[in-house]
Amino acid sequence: MSTSAAVAEPSRARRIVGWILRVLLAFAFLGAGAMKLTGAEAMITLFEDIGAGQWMRYFVGVCEVAGAIGLLVPRVHRLAAACLVLLMIGAAITDLFIVHASPVGSISLGVLSAVLLLVSRPTATHPS
């Protein structure tokens, strides 16, 4: 008799919620990344205020676009979500302590990315 639990796929409802979250987050991060990469004036000003240089704007933009694409790829969506959670933690810290702006947007995207991780995790089943 084995004591290890088998791993089952998430339920149909969890898969649907996961896909909805993945698509919504992908749109949000794709839009945010595109603003950074296309040089929207607000993003240029924001990264000047941060003081990290415009290279950081490009780096964050690439991370956001890559994360958005990764969310839509079934094999890597959990890794993408985890990386985006870390990116949003950094963004929230930057908002609070460097830019002195509201971190609500960063925190919201980070929390939704974390919820996606929870919703899409494999579940353990116990043999009968």
Secondary structure (DSSP) of 91-116: HHHHIIIII----HHHHHHHHHHHHH
- Examine residue 124 and state whether it is found in any structural domain, yes or no: no
> How distant, in Å, are the alpha carbons of 30, 37, 100 from that of 118?
22, 30, 30
Q: How many domains does the chain have?
A: 1
- Examine residue 2 and state whether it is found in any structural domain, yes or no: no
As a whole number of angstroms, the distance between CA 115 and CA 45 comes to 31
Over residues 5-10, mean pLDDT: 64
- Examine residue 66 and state whether it is found in any structural domain, yes or no: yes
What does the mean pLDDT of the chain come to?
Answer: 91
**Residues in Cβ contact with 121 at an 8 Å cutoff, skipping those fewer than 6 apart:** 10, 78
- Examine residue 3 and state whether it is found in any structural domain, yes or no: no
- Examine residue 127 and state whether it is found in any structural domain, yes or no: no
- Examine residue 47 and state whether it is found in any structural domain, yes or no: yes
Structural domain boundaries, residue 54 = 10-119
Q: What is the pLDDT of residue 3?
A: 53
Q: What is the pLDDT of residue 12?
A: 85
pLDDT greater at residue 57 or residue 5: 57
pLDDT greater at residue 15 or residue 59: 59
- Of 11-15, 43-47, 63-67, 100-104, the range with the lowest mean pLDDT is 11-15
Measured in residues, the chain has a length of 128
Q: What is the pLDDT of residue 19?
A: 95
Over residues 121-126, mean pLDDT: 68
- Examine residue 63 and state whether it is found in any structural domain, yes or no: yes
- Examine residue 5 and state whether it is found in any structural domain, yes or no: no
Q: Closest by alpha carbon to 61, among 89, 33, 88?
A: 33
